Amino acid sequence: MSDPTRLRITPPGTHPPLLYPEYRSTQERAPLQPPVALDQGAEELSVAQFTRSLLKPNDADLTRQSTGEPLGQRIVVSGRVIDEDGKPVRNSLVEVWQCNAAGRYFHAKDQHDAPLDPHFFGVGKMLTDEQGNYRFVSIKPGAYPWRNHPNAWRPSHIHFSLFGNAYAQRLVTQMYFPGDPLFPYDPIYNSVPAEARSRLVSAFDLGLTVEGIALGFRFDLVLRGRGATPFGI
| Least gap, CB of 35 to another protein (angstroms) | 4
The count of other CB atoms within 10 Å of the CB of residue 87 is 14
163 or 216: CB nearest another protein: 163
135 or 170: CB nearest another protein: 170
1 or 48: CB nearest another protein: 48
- State the catalytic residue, choosing from 154, 176, 224, 226: 154
Known active-site residue 23:
no
Known active-site residue 189:
no
90 or 107: CB nearest another protein: 107
Contact 221, 79 (CB under 8 A): yes
- Alpha-carbon span 94 to 199, nearest angstrom: 17
Listed as own residue / partner, the contacts of 52-60 with beta carbons closer than 8 Å and 24 or more positions apart are: 52/127, 54/125, 55/125, 55/126, 55/127, 59/124, 59/125, 59/126, 60/124, 60/125, 60/126, 60/134, 60/135, 60/136, 60/137
93 or 208: CB nearest another protein: 93
Q: Which helix (H) or strand (E) holds 45?
A: helix 42-45
- State the catalytic residue, choosing from 8, 104, 157, 224: 157
Provide CB contacts within 8 A for 71, sequence distance 6+. 100, 101, 102, 117, 119, 120, 139
User: Which residues on adjacent β-strands are paired with residue 172?
Assistant: 161
| Least gap, CB of 88 to another protein (angstroms) | 11
| Least gap, CB of 117 to another protein (angstroms) | 14
- Alpha-carbon span 138 to 142, nearest angstrom: 12
| Least gap, CB of 21 to another protein (angstroms) | 11
| Least gap, CB of 28 to another protein (angstroms) | 4
Known active-site residue 144:
yes
Ramachandran category for residue 68: left, alpha or beta (phi over 0 → left; psi -120 to 50 → alpha): beta
Known active-site residue 64:
no
- Give the count of alpha carbons within 13 A of 50, CB side only: 20
- Catalytic residue numbers? 105, 144, 154, 157, 159
